[in-house]
Chains A and B, each alone.
Chain A
């Protein structure tokens, strides 16, 4: 069964600090997809990124970057120069198989960025 572990329940940083959110996954499939979602205090779930199991290239989008390492089954998310608006709960998720019929979420990491 697929499983996603976000060991960090809560993280608190001061604005402009860099912060990394950890995600470790378990799957028996060779084809799978990894996702990150952001849930700000307003409550909606915002898609950030997806990565398939055959693409281990790291990705950078502005202050956000993602490090995918199959060797350690990790898909970590780093925010550089954090801002107060980054305060949210961040979810890592996994779906297996070619048609990724369902998505399983980690428990989430609550990030608080203080001014």
Chain B
């Protein structure tokens, strides 16, 4: 069974549309994250959720909004998509406590045309 699963794997959409990326983890982890990887491979943290509370909210546009219906899910909603939103988005999770690495999903490649 996949530990952290993201859907869809690929997403091609037009500018101005609204889209969502789903993420689910079956590891029982307490904290989930969204990272953005740009075309130069740089990984930047966008959000994290711990027990349904947003604890990190980086300076991302408010067109991006995380939604966590429960501890196992952290979805990413993007409104009014722009060309610059094209990137690979990774979901990740980790347990509470020091020293744990993240388990990442396989990524969602978003292309805005």
Contacts and interface: CB of A to CB of B under 8 A. Distances in A.
Interface residues of B, number: 27
Interface in B67-112: 88, 90, 92, 96-104, 106-107, 109
Interface residues of A, number: 24
B90 A100 contact: no
B48 interface: yes
Contacts of B55: 101
B102 A47 contact: yes
B contacts with A: majority SS: strand
A31 B41 contact: no
A99 interface: yes
A98 B104 CA distance: 21
A19 B96 CA distance: 34
Given A50-B99, A100-B98, A39 B106 contact: no
Given A47-B101, A99-B96, A105 B106 contact: no
B42 A107 contact: yes
B43 A43 contact: no
Interface string A50-80: 1010000000000000000000000000000
A66 B100 CA distance: 18
Contacts of A99: 96-98
A35 interface: yes
B96 to A, nearest CB: 7
B45 interface: yes
Interface in A91-115: 91, 98-105, 107-108, 110
7 contacts: A31-B98, A35-B101, A39-B41, A43-B107, A91-B43, A102-B48, A105-B43
9 closest residue pairs by CB, A with B: A45-B104, A105-B43, A47-B101, A108-B41, A50-B101, A44-B106, A98-B98, A33-B99, A43-B107
